[in-house]
Chain A
């Protein structure tokens, strides 16, 4: 009888030990998984940032927006007017980023006024409606063709693109 109790004790000890070892490995696994997932998140953030920065030039040079195919980083204001209107909805699935907008930065403004409206200073080309976006921007020229002016009339603008903030 005493031997049976002793045997049962050993089995229980063994079971507790195995469960403890199992949990130890699970914890070690979770620890490594945490490190790896942090790395995945970091990688995703890095790729999003690279995508946003490289997209700035790609978007500025798109035929649907650029002023002249021989000019880099210049927008045609007529095209901005069209793309920020109903016609732009045709391009909903086209953009490589979450949002695209163009501001006129001169003269300086206190309030953003979306175009079309009087004295407007902002063209919203695309916004997929996602709240958590990180924005990247670059300065551009906004030009329009005017009779009698060889290079048209140009203003200073700012192209702002947003990408989903995977860090949040």
Chain B
């Protein structure tokens, strides 16, 4: 065999072998990425599903915990046109190069209101829910957080639910987020109640101050303001108000049907006005809307057998 032939054969084998090896490695990496994307997308979809049984229903609230096998980031993007949606996507910790992998496919959730940070990272996530009544039940609010919280000076029995990542007053977790009701030391979040009439507690309405930003709330929206970023909070509140307006429209139709079978209700004019107001309201209108909601609720309770809700 001549020396030139030997070189050519080897050169050919090396080039072709190298190409195959490159394709194999490239394919394996792409395959790994696809598998990770699939797994992260599945997790996002699973979050949407496992929060279903956590909806409060007619209970005071409901609590659950999501455990991940590795550090996981949950992204929440809120869109507020009409009913709007929360887009939930999940990214896992890479440890190589970029700290976090690109997130998997987002799952759009139109019928839930998920209050969380825009980007939350952690191993264990706590999920709990509370209902939002305005004055009828509009929907359940779902709160998702990996952080520990310390509630300082919270009125007794106010939360009405035992959630492991929320401690009250004598807190043992050192790096917990400190939420102070009215006053307190080293507070990360302040809650100022301003409810003076028609309320069980002064904190039934008020303002949550977080990172110097004010978030107005009524009722259980308090927890939404504590656990979520301003953008997510405002967006979800606009979605809830729109839905409250649509439910009022439905009640107006229901009032006509009930009247037709002599189950008369006097709520129709109030509901027409309420529907128009709440559907176009902003967060700044929450406190004044609450006063009107209380009036309508009292009227509904007075209807007894032919009440609307």
Q: What is A's interface to B at a CB cutoff of 8 Å?
A: 3, 7, 10-11, 14-15, 18, 21-22, 25, 29, 36, 40, 43, 47, 50-51, 54-55, 57-58, 61-64, 68-72, 76, 78-79, 81-83, 87, 90-91, 93-96, 145-150
Contacts of B16 in A (CB 8 A): 14-15, 18
- With contacts A25-B24, A61-B55, A94-B111 taken as known, whether A3 is within 8 angstroms of B253 at the C-beta atoms is no
Q: Give the residue of A3, A54, A76 whose beta carbon is less than 8 angstroms from that of B2.
A: A3
Q: Is A22 touching B110 in the complex (CB atoms < 8 A)?
A: no
Q: What is B's interface to A at a CB cutoff of 8 Å?
A: 1-2, 5, 8-9, 12-13, 16-17, 20, 24, 27, 35, 38, 42, 45-46, 48-50, 52-53, 55, 57-58, 82-83, 109-111, 131, 133, 136-139, 246-247, 249-250, 253-254, 257-258, 261-263, 305-307, 309
Q: Is B247 touching A146 in the complex (CB atoms < 8 A)?
A: no
Complex: A76 Cα to B261 Cα, angstroms: 15
Number of A-B pairs whose CB atoms are under 8 Å?
125
Contacts of B309 in A (CB 8 A): 63, 68-69
- With contacts A51-B49, A54-B49, A145-B263 taken as known, whether A14 is within 8 angstroms of B13 at the C-beta atoms is yes
- With contacts A54-B53, A96-B111 taken as known, whether A78 is within 8 angstroms of B46 at the C-beta atoms is no
Contacts of B253 in A (CB 8 A): 78, 82, 87
Contacts of A21 in B (CB 8 A): 20
Q: Is B306 touching A145 in the complex (CB atoms < 8 A)?
A: yes
Q: Give the residue of A64, A70, A78, A83 whose beta carbon is less than 8 angstroms from that of B257.
A: A78
- With contacts A91-B83, A145-B263, A145-B306 taken as known, whether A96 is within 8 angstroms of B110 at the C-beta atoms is yes
- With contacts A69-B136, A82-B250, A96-B109 taken as known, whether A146 is within 8 angstroms of B261 at the C-beta atoms is yes
30 contacts between A and B (CB under 8 A): A3-B1, A3-B5, A10-B5, A11-B8, A14-B12, A40-B38, A47-B45, A50-B46, A51-B48, A55-B52, A57-B52, A57-B57, A58-B52, A63-B139, A63-B247, A64-B247, A69-B136, A72-B58, A78-B257, A79-B254, A81-B257, A91-B83, A93-B83, A94-B83, A94-B110, A95-B110, A96-B109, A145-B258, A146-B261, A147-B262
Residue of B nearest to A29 (CB): B27
Grouping DSSP codes into helix (H, G, I), strand (E, B) and loop, the A interface class, with mixed when no group exceeds half, is helix
Contacts of B58 in A (CB 8 A): 69-72
The distance from the CB of B59 to the nearest CB of chain A, in whole angstroms, is: 10
Q: Is A47 touching B83 in the complex (CB atoms < 8 A)?
A: no
Q: Is A22 touching B20 in the complex (CB atoms < 8 A)?
A: yes
Residue of B nearest to A149 (CB): B305
Complex: A26 Cα to B139 Cα, angstroms: 52
Q: Is A63 touching B52 in the complex (CB atoms < 8 A)?
A: no
The distance from the CB of B3 to the nearest CB of chain A, in whole angstroms, is: 12
The 9 closest A-B pairs by CB, nearest first: A54-B52, A7-B5, A69-B137, A82-B253, A78-B257, A78-B254, A18-B16, A147-B263, A70-B58
